[in-house]
Structure 1
Amino acid sequence: MENTTYKAKKYKILFVGDTSVDMYVKAFYNAAKQNQEIRPLLMGFDKLNISNNRNNIFLRIERHYKVGPHVDQINRRLIRIVKQEQVDIVFLYTCDIIRPRTVKKISKMCYVAIYNNDNPFSDYYPKYMWNNMICSLKYANIVYSFRKSNIKQYIDNGAKCAKLMRGYYIKERNFYIEDSSIDLDIPDVCYIGHYEDDGRAEYIRVLLEAGIDVGVSKDFEVTGMKHEHLKYISDTHPRYNEVLNKAKIAIVFLSNINKDTYTTRNFEIPVVKTMMVTPGNDDIATLFIDGKEAIFYYNKIDFLDKIKYYLEHEDERLEVALAGYDRVIRDGHAADDRIEEIINDFKEYNE
């Protein structure tokens, strides 16, 4: 009798989004390539990425207002790929240029998931910014919410099912490196992230005036801040992981624009075994134990006192850093884990 090997079905997932940045939809696609249950496909619209179109006013207008020949082409292409490839799942990552009628069409051919790491209900954005996405919610099988506060808003705006999907770290991008192998000269305390005019500069200033050396990314240059204890760190994008590894204490600020209660840095910092100092709130308290796995702060005085303390107590700092690392690994906050969530939800839907 001839031996046959049973081959389990591989789910075809089409990941759609701006592929010009590795940490967004490409992170999901790359993680899916390592999953034995998945045959991943990727569709990008990099031509409409604003950073790629600085000298093309027509493409910039298309991207901004979500209308024009290239937007039309992308929507038609999505429908064509879903049909030709007989896709099982379409994962739309921050797809503000994908129209509701397109989502309606593909929803008749496959399972549709929508995800947005930004807050589409924030007053910061003009109403037309997320109109396509919000009007598409009712056609999706599931909507993944980056933050808890948006779940009810998604449901109220027509989503059939909405659930939390946290941010993530990328194993190939965020990992521990032996300190001795990093040729960087940076302060022990660093903030590597974007600048918002929300008071975070004043937190940095408090440290500087206390005589603590602080490293910040070049984004902070817009403040015009200068101080003998302040160091602007170059190459924080290509060397982001090395900078986080080299720092003894890494600071987290939360975006007021998106009304965040946590951020991806809450996973990227502990996973490199660096101690994290982050704003305290009820949500972050579900992810880490204050004083054991991370250090929470609640105001500028608290912020300063805790950073000073752990700079002077190296053993305790290391204990917190290692405990934070263990917690992130144990709870599963890699992009791979988010892929598992998608597959499990799809299976449950089809039971």
Structure 2
Amino acid sequence: MNKLKILFITRDRSQQMEKSSYYLGEEMKKQCDLMFWYKDGHIKTILAQIPNKPDFIFLNDFLDPTLCPKIKGLDKINIPKGMIFHDISYQIKIRKEYINREKIDFIFAHYRDAFMKWYPELAHRFVWLPHHVNTTVYKDFQLPKTINWLMMGATVRHIYPLRVIMLNAMKDQPGFVYHPHPGYTVVQNAKQGSLVGDEYAKEINRSKMFLTCNSVYEYILMKYFEVLACNTLLLAPSTQETTDLGFIDGVHFVAINRMNFLEKAQYYLSHESERLTIAKTGYEMVRSYHSTEARVKHLLSNITKLISLRNGK
């Protein structure tokens, strides 16, 4: 059977702090016949310059110029087209207009329930593409667990209120460490001392527990996957979406809220055996079902089905 031919229109994300799109593309290269396009242009001109006619065109969003180049003429071609939506809370009206104007067939988004809430009229075009984790970067380095509780990332009150509450409650606890978000930029522009790539993963691996939240939007963010992949106990809120992705409270992670996070953080510090068992089970689950390799296999299977659906087969 011939490999699926996909044109991935994206910016080069290899030097960015946030590399999920880069990891996705690198894994897709292994599993399909992938062609990259990084520059602005007209789609018909692009198709004339690449080696093969693609079975599917995959666009890495359209609003952020660091994610995707500007492409004209998408509504003029008949090849099935799909687009990743990253920040689905941003410019909702513009996103809806673009999808209809450019005749984008399918929308790949990381967050199912929020998408259905904000884009109900596009539900028939939705494809769930949850976050994934590159297990060659996020892994168990077997470093000494020298940090009792770790928190990393943004603490903007109106977006991450629970993080702010936890930070204020935990900041004076012995063994608690907090690192602010380094910002979305290229690696070489990161502030001195910022933890990125392997160093970020190693810091997670040094911690016994990692406290985070899912924002006011109740997103299952990348940290859910990254923390478990480093064999560290995750303390974070639970929703139906986390459950449907296989994150079971007390088995793979520990569900918390603003009323019980401190009690649970203290409990699992003094109950090491339970902490290690849950962390290990979560580690194995994420590596099996949510690695970038596993996610791409599912993605390509979905795209094959979508092509058949689009072509009426």
Q: What TM-score bracket applies, with the shorter chain setting the length?
A: 0.7 to 0.9
Please tell me the residue identity of whatever aligns with 2:212: V
Please tell me the residue identity of whatever aligns with 1:23: K
CA distance in 2, matches of 1:285, 1:190: 23
The offset of 1:152, in angstroms, is 6.0
- Please say if 1:260 is aligned against 2:218: yes
> Paired residue for 1:168, among 127, 132, 136?
132
Aligned residues: 285
- Please say if 1:177 is aligned against 2:137: no
- Please say if 1:205 is aligned against 2:168: yes
Q: Deviations over 1:12-68 (max 9, x none)?
A: 212222323352321221011222xx12122235xxxxxxxxxxxxxxxxxxxxxxx
CA distance in 2, matches of 1:241, 1:266: 13
The offset of 1:127, in angstroms, is 6.2
> Structure 1 regions of 5+ residues with no counterpart?
1-7, 46-73, 222-232
* Equivalent residue number for residue 27 of structure 1: 23
Q: Deviations over 1:99-126 (max 9, x none)?
A: 78632124x1x2211111211xx3xx45
> Paired residue for 1:344, among 285, 288, 301?
301
Higher relative contact order (CA 8 A, sep 6+): 2
Q: State percent identity of aligned pairs.
A: 18
1:236-315 to 2 correspondence within 5 Å? 236-238=195-197, 239-256=199-216, 259-286=217-244, 287-299=246-258, 301-315=259-273
**SS of equivalent residue, structure 2 residue 147:** coil
> Structure 2 regions of 5+ residues with no counterpart?
184-191
CA distance in 1, matches of 2:99, 2:218: 19
CA distance in 1, matches of 2:124, 2:247: 31
1:1-351 to 2 correspondence within 5 Å? 8-20=1-13, 21=16, 23-35=19-31, 38-44=32-38, 74-76=40-42, 78-85=43-50, 86-96=53-63, 102-106=73-77, 108=78, 110-119=79-88, 122=89, 125-126=90-91, 130=95, 133-136=98-101, 139-148=103-112, 149-151=114-116, 153-154=118-119, 156-157=121-122, 160-179=124-143, 187-198=147-158, 199=161, 200-209=163-172, 211-219=173-181, 234-238=193-197, 239-256=199-216, 259-286=217-244, 287-299=246-258, 301-330=259-288, 332-348=289-305, 349-350=307-308, 351=313
- 8 A contact 1:13–1:39 mirrored in 2: yes
CA distance in 2, matches of 1:139, 1:155: 17
* Equivalent residue number for residue 70 of structure 1: none
User: What TM-score do you get using the length of structure 2 for normalisation?
Assistant: 0.80
> Looking at CA atoms only, which structure, 1 or 2, has the larger radius of gyration?
1
- 8 A contact 1:117–1:167 mirrored in 2: no
